[in-house]
Amino acid sequence: MAEVDVDSGGIIRVMPEVLANKIAAGEVVQRPSSVVKELTENALDAGASSINVVTKAAGKELIQVVDDGSGMSERDAVMSFQRHATSKIKSIDDLERIRTLGFRGEALASIGAVSRVELRTKRREAQAGTEVRVAGGTLEGTGPCSVNDGTSVAVRNLFYNVPARRNFLKSAATELRHIVDTVRFLALANPAVSFRLIHDGGELLHAAATDDPDAIRVRIGQIFGEPVVDNLVVVDETTSYLTISGFVGTPENHRRSGTDQYLFVNGRIVRSRYLGHAVRSAYGNMLP
Ligand code: ADP
Ligand code: MG
């Protein structure tokens, strides 16, 4: 952009980076479950085979995601908190063949802007791990640490520096429901990865990785219980421009609310009233 000569009457100024990040964070981080989603997707992108999610007070006190993925070098660990810093795309052409869940390089910057984050990471070939601490968008410290191969990100006191947003959070029960729902979504889409969710010290979900050829069916059983698996109907449809696959329940097992609908497009979570309604209406008058 050409430089503009602003006279002394000008009132427009560029926001300090910390403020800009705090505002931009609103788009990425709506609630604790958004943090769970972003951190877990990063773990998946890092090739993790096992992902543990630990939360306290419905994520208001702590959201921690521990993975056994690639880990990061010391330099990358610090870089990862910068806005638009990503290892996932280099050029505009890469956008055409994106295979990762993230690529905008905004999640860690946003999360770090509105919480206190402690990231510990170690690459398999490295001797020691690296710890990076960020609070309210400011790098607080970095140094060597001992940690297993992979990455652990602990997010504490979400929105501690944005009181309006903190007050806007719903009850613990509601926020926890969103967290469980998010982990279920990601676990269903990735049956080859082992998932565990621990909330306030209790295990809410544990789905071990499976090499069963019918992996998704196994995963559904792990998440919703075996009786649900016994009443599934296979959906498998291929047209010239798309393939739809998955399972639906028999009409006897229907629930009035659509909360147990899990739809994905190429592994990405889709929440769509429209599609949800389409699935329901396909049952016609079989539903009461
Ligand atoms: P994006 O996922 O869009 O690239 P993020 O802000 O979520 O942006 O992450 C920034 C970068 O940090 C990633 O591109 C990746 O290189 C690195 N990173 C983040 N989380 C992990 C993780 N759990 N394991 C390994 N690398 C990670
Ligand atoms: Mg990401």
pLDDT, tens only, 246-275: 999 888 877 776 568 899 988 888 988 898
In terms of Cα–Cα distance, which of 213, 66, 225, 241 is closest to 151? 66
Q: Ligand 1 pocket, 73 CB below 6 A?
A: no
- On the question of pLDDT at 64 being above 80, the answer is yes
Residue 151 makes CB contacts below 8 A (sequence gap 6+) with 42, 43, 46, 66, 67, 69, 71, 72, 119, 120, 121, 122
Residue 14 is given by DSSP the state P
Give the predicted TM-score (pTM) of the model: 0.93
Position 77: which residue type? Answer: A
Strand pairing partners for 202?
Answer: 199
Q: Ligand 1 pocket, 108 CB below 6 A?
A: yes
- On the question of pLDDT at 21 being above 90, the answer is no
Residue 16 makes CB contacts below 8 A (sequence gap 6+) with none
Query: Residue 111 CA: which ligand is closest?
Result: 1
Neighbours of ion ligand 2 (CB under 5 A): 42, 102, 107
pLDDT at 259: 63
